[in-house]
Amino acid sequence: MSDFRRFLAKRLAVSALLTLISVTIIFFVLRLLPGSPFETLITTGNLSPEQAEEVFALYGLDKPLWQQYLVYLKNLLTFQFGYSILQSRPVWAILGPKLANTLVLLVPALVTTAIVSTAVGMYAGWNRGSTAETASIAVTTFLRSTPVFITAIFFLIAFSYTLGMVPAFGMRRVTATPNGLLDTYLSIDFLHHYLLPFTVTVLYYSGDFLLLARNGVVEKKGSEFLKLHRAKGLTENEQLVRAGRNSLLPVVTYFALRLGMIFQGLILLEVVFGWDGIGRALVLAIEQQDYPLVQAAVFIMALAVIIMNLLADVLCAYLDPTVNANGGAV
């Protein structure tokens, strides 16, 4: 086996183990939670003890803990998330569309910010010490250090409440009843609601990409290969392109990491903008103690992080020959 293959096998095994540990922690934390969604039903007399037992059996809550755990593992492996306690619908039927809503907002935003702010960052790094550099760093430092819900509130106040340019809440007009995918995501109404959350997401993530790209270019600026290029008579812009290309690796791996974290990172954004995504669904499910829903949402978020971490590590080891495959990648 080559070094890279061994690294890959090890990394896959570690990821599988991490997934197991994560889902185990989620299971036990949820089971330790006091109270249950049925309690109110029972205490108010809406459910008789016999009916309660039936319901418990239906959700498998009458079995010993270890049996529940095994069933839970088996179900997760087959993506069977069970039924929502409060909505009596399969969890996946509830979460699926919400997951789509989250992805529709976040993936384009992340791709946009990765491309635009990496380019700006490279330009800033190349013109080190210029006003443009200082200004871009000041602005993006503000955007990335301020919690996203606060930036969102500032934007709401400015563009929605004061200027009245965009709606403040939701994904579409309350009266809208979209039919099918095209109608759901490709309408002026949707775009109108989309603009503000999209902009805030792009701005929130811009700082990290900008600084990574800027630092990369600054580090490359004095290096030998650029001196050679300069001696060959390449123009400033051509040199910048080469310096930039050589500092893309951290940006690429960072993009993978960010993609894994987007679900959880923007729970707050979804709450502020009333975006009907998986993050907002999780907060509501926790408040209503709808365990199967919580379980599935947290599992999806954890799985995204684990897969993307794996991808980032592998990309890093694959693309950068100087990285030690035995774990030198930071």
Partner 1 sequence: MSTGSISIGERIISRTESVWSHLRFLAEDRLACAGLITLGVFVFLGVTGPTIAPYHPIEDYVRTTQGDIVRLAPPSTDTPLGTTEYGKDVLSQFLAGAQPTLIVGLLGGVGTGALGFLVGLVSGYFGGWVDELLMRLTDLTFSLPFMPMALLLLTFITPNVWLITAIIVSFLWKMPARVVRSEVLSTRERTFVKSARASGASHLRTMFLHIAPNVLPIGFLYTAYGVAWAIAAQASLAFLGFGDPTTTSWGRMLRMVFESGTIRIAWWWVLPPAIGIAAVTTSVFFIGRAYEEMINPEIQNQ
User: 144 or 172, CB closer to partner 1?
Assistant: 144
DSSP 162: I
Place of tokens 């894994």: 260
49: tokens are 């003890």
Q: How far is the CB of 90 from partner 1 (least distance, A)?
A: 21
Q: How far is the CB of 268 from partner 1 (least distance, A)?
A: 5
CA–CA dist 217, 141 (Å, integer):
18
Q: How far is the CB of 273 from partner 1 (least distance, A)?
A: 12
Place of tokens 């809406």: 46
275: tokens are 């975006």
Q: Which residues bind partner 1 (CB under 8 A)?
A: 14, 18-19, 21-22, 25-26, 29-30, 32-34, 128, 134, 137-138, 141-142, 144-147, 149-151, 153-154, 156-157, 161, 168, 215, 218-219, 221-222, 261, 263-265, 267-268, 271-272, 279, 282-283, 286-287, 289, 294, 297-298, 301-302, 305-306, 309, 327-328, 330
User: 23 or 202, CB closer to partner 1?
Assistant: 23
User: 50 or 287, CB closer to partner 1?
Assistant: 287
Name the residue among 21, 217, 58, 1 with its Cα closest to residue 128: 217
Q: How far is the CB of 181 from partner 1 (least distance, A)?
A: 28
User: 119 or 257, CB closer to partner 1?
Assistant: 257
Q: How far is the CB of 214 from partner 1 (least distance, A)?
A: 10
Beta-carbon count within 10 A of 284 CB? 15
CB-based contact 216:251 (threshold 8 Å): yes
User: 153 or 186, CB closer to partner 1?
Assistant: 153
User: 154 or 225, CB closer to partner 1?
Assistant: 154
CA distance readout (Å), 194 to 17, 95, 173, 205, 290: 38, 20, 12, 17, 29
CA–CA dist 159, 181 (Å, integer):
28
206: tokens are 């811009």
Q: How far is the CB of 102 from partner 1 (least distance, A)?
A: 13
